[in-house]
Amino acid sequence: MNVTDALQGRISVRAYLDRPVDKELIRRILDAARWAPSGVNSQPWQVAVVQGEKLQQISSELLHLAENGVQPAPDYDYYPGEWIDPYKGRRYECGMALYRALQISRDDKDKRREAALNNYRFFGAPVSLFFFIDRRMGQGSWMDLGMFLQSVMLAAREQGLGTCPQASVADYPEVVRQQLGISQQKLLACGMALGYPDEQHPVNQYRTSREEVDAFTTWFD
């Protein structure tokens, strides 16, 4: 698989087969991704690979908090406090595409809530990767972490696996840190579902659009 095919074929997989992922395969993915660039080679990422009973324990705690209306307390603000266009419009279209794929009507609040809760079930993936970064690192290190995340997702594609980066599972970072024995010094950036995609599931059939190059590029000659 070439890089362009991996980039264009990558999607956020939200349904997985009930099939375990071999530990050595995960290691191979991380071994490829570790060559991602970072400022002064700081390599600010740290990864926790979680599966089996421990993943179920984290999932149960996250679901309990969300279902009981406990306000999320993430380590940082992923989204803006107030959405403006064009980002607001893109967000809306993304959500509508997801609901159409799941055949959820606009006024069906119960099904929408259930779809949202699936984030805390990791969409049925057998593995979740949790990504941490030291709180003392600067904003540039977050760029490094983002490049590492993309490298993980592309390496997974090469191995026939699907991923879904999940800011949602960082809603309750204390749960994850406590379950994994992670220091408070480590900020939880996000999770990432990992597994074999259920290619037949409707939720994996829809695609989000992208702006054309000239819509976000200015050329200076």
24-80 confidence digits (pLDDT tens): 999 999 999 999 999 999 999 999 999 999 999 999 999 999 999 999 999 999 999
Cα separation of 205 and 192, whole Å? 19
Q: Report the CATH number that the domain containing residue 11 is assigned in CATH.
A: 3.40.109.10
Cα separation of 201 and 195, whole Å? 14
Q: Within a domain: residue 84?
A: no
Cα separation of 87 and 54, whole Å? 36
Q: Within a domain: residue 114?
A: no
Tell me how many domains the chain contains: 1
Given a contact cutoff of 8 angstroms between Cβ atoms, the answer to whether 51 and 58 are in contact is no
Q: Within a domain: residue 101?
A: no
Q: What is the pTM of this model?
A: 0.95
* Per-residue pLDDT reduced to its tens digit, 74-100: 999 999 999 999 999 999 999 999 989
Phi-psi region of 124 (alpha: psi -120 to 50; beta: other; left: phi over 0): left
Question: 55 lies in which domain range?
Answer: 3-79+121-206
- The tokens of 10 are what? 């990558």
